[in-house]
Amino acid sequence: MATAATKARKKKKLLVWGIVLAVAAIVVVSTFGKGGSSAPVVRAVPITRQTLSNTVSATGSVESSDDYKVYSTLGSLVSQVSVKVGDKVEAGQVLATLDTETLELNIAQSEATINQAKNAAAQQIKQAQKSLDNAKKTLEDGLNANVISADSGVNSAEINKENAALGLKSAEDNQEATQDMIGSYRDAYNDARSDYLDAQRNYNDLKKKYDNAGQGVLPPEYHTLKQLLKDKEDDYQTQLDLLKTLQRELDELQKDLDQSETNAQIIYESSEQDSSNSKLEKEAEKAQERAFKAQENFDEKKAQYDEVAAKADDLYQEIQSIKSQMSEYEQSYGLAEATAELLAAAQLKDTMEAAMLSARSRLESTRTQADSADTALDQAELSKKGADVNYETSVKQREATLEGINQQIESYEDALTASRIQADTTAQEISLQLLYKQLEDSTITAPISGVVTAVNAEEGVPANGILFVIENVDQLEISTSVKEYDITSVKEGMPVVIRTDAIEGEEFEGVLTELAPTGTKGASGGAVTFAAKVTIPKPGALRVGMNTRMDIVLEEKENVFRVPFEALHTAEDGSYYITSVIPNESQEKNAAPFVTKNIPVTTGMETDFYVEILSDQLEEGMQIIPTSDEYAEGTPVQVM
């Protein structure tokens, strides 16, 4: 659809033609007015009811909506081509065949090789299975006292291991219970902290109210105290933030300390059980040193934490003292109500803070219990590990006894496995399947029904690349584009009128079925266009490759009066009218044969060149002036 700027250019073009016609009229008047009427000469046309369409123009070429390129990658020679360009084919119809003599020989050779390999592997498997069965039966029938003793030791160690596991499970349950308590107290602490933050926000709001109430009343000494209070509170908050950071660091150091002590205990107990192992003894000494170092790091960080906490307490006392001095000024200067509210809010804040600190204390106390549970759990884990070590030692002793026999059995099992692997012909069978697939692909068939539009296959030439192109000529479409300034008016599903010079005088129906969501800029930053497709439900005589002109129908009205935009005039009150010519009933000598009559109208649908007009005074065949020239009602005129 054309933009307003486009309409203006087209209207200007029509206006130029109107000026040309006016000049022609002046020439006619100067030529024929001598000895006759001096009335201006105008051009008049009859008005009739017509169909008014608003369209967007586009061009494109007809193409198939369904085509398929037939490939081959075999490289075999083409033995026969069964179709030519223009032939109609059905899906599955043979297009060409390739030479398969060498391929069939390769298939026969692969099948023979696979059969030979299977027969040889079956004999090897039979012999390996026999050797393995004999070795296992010898072991099952033996009564070796060392094996019996080793089994007894394993059974005893396994019982101790199970008892240690039960102890560990009990310790884990206890630790889980303390963790649940921590979660409960943590929730209580979070609730108390939330209440404290609410009270703190209320206090801050009343503080602003109080500050506004005392603005311009309190003496300079009060404001000095106020600034000092702010500085102290900032320092206090800084110390609290530092305490939080130190607490996190203490927690990490505590974990490191606990882990170091646990590791040292495990290694120490292992070295006690195997006192002859000097390497294990050295590792125990190193583990103990790491535990001492972890304890030193923890103590150093704890001292730093206590120092910061003491400084924070001193700052808190100073803040309370400054607040007390400020309160005396506030009472003296009539700020009792605001002061009382602020003090009440401060007390509530302090109460909530105390509740929060109490909840945190309970949480820390529970964490201490959890630490004890963790210690008990560590001890249970050590016992469990000791029992595991004893069990593993017993198992190893039994394994040592059975090692010789097992090695012999494993060697037979390995021989059996190797025979089975050699019997696996999966890779060769897959290769054979690929050869059969190539044999099947040597017969080139049509994937779809349609018309052969390209044949690149030649008999006696290797089959590589695109051999055939097949297109469905019963399903046609047109690829086109829509200009940027029309894109907002065009929608999918709109009807399209199609014309082609190859079939003069005939129009075809189409439907706009695809519209690209993004535009494409032309070369060197040219105009932006949006790709589109038009389907042709009934192609008729249209053929692939024909160039077409199309009108996308945006809207349409039938049986309406229409005039050029230049024929529409605007009255002083903003209403519209057109000018018609009617016979002049004057009896004067040399009177002009016609006079003008202005007919009020309203407007309807608009296109690039025409506008719909409506009026009870309009009649089929009425003569109107189609130009922008304006004439007063009843102006005598001559008609060209």
- For residues 156 and 330, which has the higher predicted lDDT (pLDDT)? 156
In a domain, 127, yes or no: no
CA distance 171 to 380: 7
Please say whether the beta carbons of 301 and 309 come within 8 A.
Answer: no
Q: Is the pLDDT of residue 14 over 70?
A: no
Task: Report residue 614 as tokens.
Answer: 């409506």
Q: Is the pLDDT of residue 464 over 50?
A: yes
In a domain, 137, yes or no: no
Q: Is the pLDDT of residue 623 over 80?
A: yes
Q: Is the pLDDT of residue 107 over 50?
A: yes
* Confidence band, pLDDT 50/70/90 cuts, at residue 619: very high
Q: What is the mean pLDDT of the chain?
A: 82
* Confidence band, pLDDT 50/70/90 cuts, at residue 206: confident
Q: Are residues 40 and 87 in the same domain?
A: no
CA distance 398 to 147: 7
What CA–CA distances, in Å, run from 474 to 34, 86, 498, 515?
A: 69, 14, 17, 22
Please say whether the beta carbons of 213 and 338 come within 8 A.
Answer: yes
- pTM for this entry: 0.39
Q: Is the pLDDT of residue 215 over 70?
A: no
* Confidence band, pLDDT 50/70/90 cuts, at residue 133: confident
What confidence score (pLDDT) does residue 547 get? 93
* Confidence band, pLDDT 50/70/90 cuts, at residue 13: very low
Q: Are residues 411 and 262 in the same domain?
A: yes
Q: Are residues 610 and 569 in the same domain?
A: yes
What confidence score (pLDDT) does residue 216 get? 57
Question: Of the candidates 478, 513, 480, which has an alpha carbon nearest to the alpha carbon of residue 58?
Answer: 480
Q: Which residues contact 579 (CB under 8 A, 6 or more apart)?
A: 567, 569, 596, 597, 598, 599, 624, 625, 630, 631
What confidence score (pLDDT) does residue 512 get? 94
CA-based max dimension of the chain:
155
Of 25-29, 79-83, 154-158, 613-617, the poorest mean pLDDT is in 25-29
Task: Report residue 158 as tokens.
Answer: 């396994």
CA distance 599 to 618: 8
Which residues in 75-94 are b (16+ Cβ under 10 Å) and which e?
ebbbeebebeeebebeeeee
Q: Is the pLDDT of residue 145 over 90?
A: no
Q: Is the pLDDT of residue 598 over 90?
A: yes
Q: Is the pLDDT of residue 30 over 50?
A: no
Q: Are residues 80 and 179 in the same domain?
A: no
Q: Is the pLDDT of residue 177 over 50?
A: yes
Determine phi and psi for 506, rounding to 5 degrees.
Answer: -115, 140
Of 47-61, 308-322, 376-390, 528-542, the poorest mean pLDDT is in 376-390
Q: Is the pLDDT of residue 146 over 80?
A: no
Task: Report residue 635 as tokens.
Answer: 């102006």
Question: Of the candidates 177, 18, 136, 107, which has an alpha carbon nearest to the alpha carbon of residue 429?
Answer: 107
Q: Are residues 398 and 533 in the same domain?
A: no
CA distance 349 to 204: 10
Q: Is the pLDDT of residue 230 over 70?
A: yes
In a domain, 229, yes or no: yes
pLDDT in tens, 503-518: 988 989 999 999 999 9
pLDDT in tens, 374-429: 777 777 778 778 878 887 888 888 788 778 777 777 887 788 788 778 777 788 88
pLDDT in tens, 560-576: 999 999 999 999 999 99
- Indicate the angle between helix axes 336-423 and 101-141, nearest 10 degrees: 100
CA distance 561 to 49: 5
What CA–CA distances, in Å, run from 382 to 60, 263, 378?
A: 84, 9, 6
Q: Give the mean pLDDT of 39-58.
A: 90
Q: Give the mean pLDDT of 575-586.
A: 93
In a domain, 339, yes or no: yes
The CATH number that applies at residue 92 is 2.40.50.100
Please say whether the beta carbons of 186 and 363 come within 8 A.
Answer: yes
Q: Are residues 183 and 90 in the same domain?
A: no
In a domain, 606, yes or no: yes
Of 91-100, 296-305, 417-426, 470-479, the poorest mean pLDDT is in 417-426
Q: Are residues 481 and 504 in the same domain?
A: yes
Query: Sheet containing 88-89: which strands, arranged edge to edge?
Result: 67-72, 465-471, 450-455, 88-89
Q: Domains in the chain: how many in total?
A: 3
Q: Is the pLDDT of residue 631 over 70?
A: yes
Q: What share of the chain is helix, strand, coil (3-state, %, to 5)?
A: 55, 20, 20
What confidence score (pLDDT) does residue 37 get? 60
Q: Give the mean pLDDT of 358-379.
A: 75
Q: Which residues contact 363 (CB under 8 A, 6 or more apart)?
A: 182, 185, 186, 188, 189
Q: Are residues 544 and 601 in the same domain?
A: yes
Strand partners, 530: 482
CA distance 577 to 599: 5
Q: Map residue 186 onto helix, strand or coil.
A: helix
In a domain, 610, yes or no: yes
Domain that holds residue 353: 145-421
In a domain, 272, yes or no: yes
What confidence score (pLDDT) does residue 6 get? 39
CA distance 272 to 119: 61
In a domain, 303, yes or no: yes
Strand partners, 482: 530
What confidence score (pLDDT) does residue 20 get? 37
Q: Are residues 316 and 331 in the same domain?
A: yes
What confidence score (pLDDT) does residue 5 get? 35
What confidence score (pLDDT) does residue 578 get? 96
Q: Is the pLDDT of residue 4 over 70?
A: no
Q: Are residues 530 and 465 in the same domain?
A: no
CA distance 26 to 456: 71
* Confidence band, pLDDT 50/70/90 cuts, at residue 19: very low
CA distance 566 to 578: 10
Task: Report residue 457 as tokens.
Answer: 């296959």
Q: Map residue 245 onto helix, strand or coil.
A: helix
3-class DSSP string for 571-619:
CCCCCEEEEEEEECCCCCCCCCCEEEEEEEEEEEEECCCEEEEECCCCC
CA distance 127 to 133: 10
Task: Report residue 359 as tokens.
Answer: 């909840």
Q: What is the DSSP letter of 230?
A: H
Q: Is the pLDDT of residue 147 over 60?
A: yes
Pairing of strands 594-606, 528-536: unpaired
Q: What is the CA radius of gyration of the chain?
A: 52
What confidence score (pLDDT) does residue 16 get? 38
Q: Give the mean pLDDT of 285-311.
A: 88
Q: What angle do CA 561, 562, 563 make, to 5 degrees?
A: 135
What confidence score (pLDDT) does residue 205 get? 82
- For residues 253 and 211, which has the higher predicted lDDT (pLDDT)? 253
Please say whether the beta carbons of 528 and 484 come within 8 A.
Answer: yes
CA distance 20 to 147: 125
Choose from 239-243, 417-421, 612-616 the range with maximum mean pLDDT: 612-616
What confidence score (pLDDT) does residue 404 get? 73
Q: Are residues 525 and 397 in the same domain?
A: no
Question: What is the DSSP secondary-structure string of 2-21?
Answer: --HHHHHHHHHHHHHHHHHH
Q: What angle do CA 558, 563, 567 make, to 5 degrees?
A: 165
3-class DSSP string for 563-578:
EEHHHCEECCCCCEEE
Determine phi and psi for 276, rounding to 5 degrees.
Answer: -80, -5
> What share of the chain in percent tops pLDDT 90?
22
- For residues 404 and 314, which has the higher predicted lDDT (pLDDT)? 314
Q: Is the pLDDT of residue 225 over 80?
A: yes
What CA–CA distances, in Å, run from 117 to 110, 414, 428?
A: 11, 19, 10
Q: Give the mean pLDDT of 544-567.
A: 91
Question: Of the candidates 447, 466, 470, 448, which has an alpha carbon nearest to the alpha carbon of residue 457?
Answer: 466
Choose from 75-89, 141-155, 183-197, 485-499 the range with maximum mean pLDDT: 485-499
CA distance 291 to 11: 96
Q: Are residues 415 and 306 in the same domain?
A: yes
The CATH number that applies at residue 622 is 2.40.30.170
3-class DSSP string for 211-247:
HHHCCCCCCHHHHHHHHHHHHHHHHHHHHHHHHHHHH
Q: Is the pLDDT of residue 22 over 50?
A: no
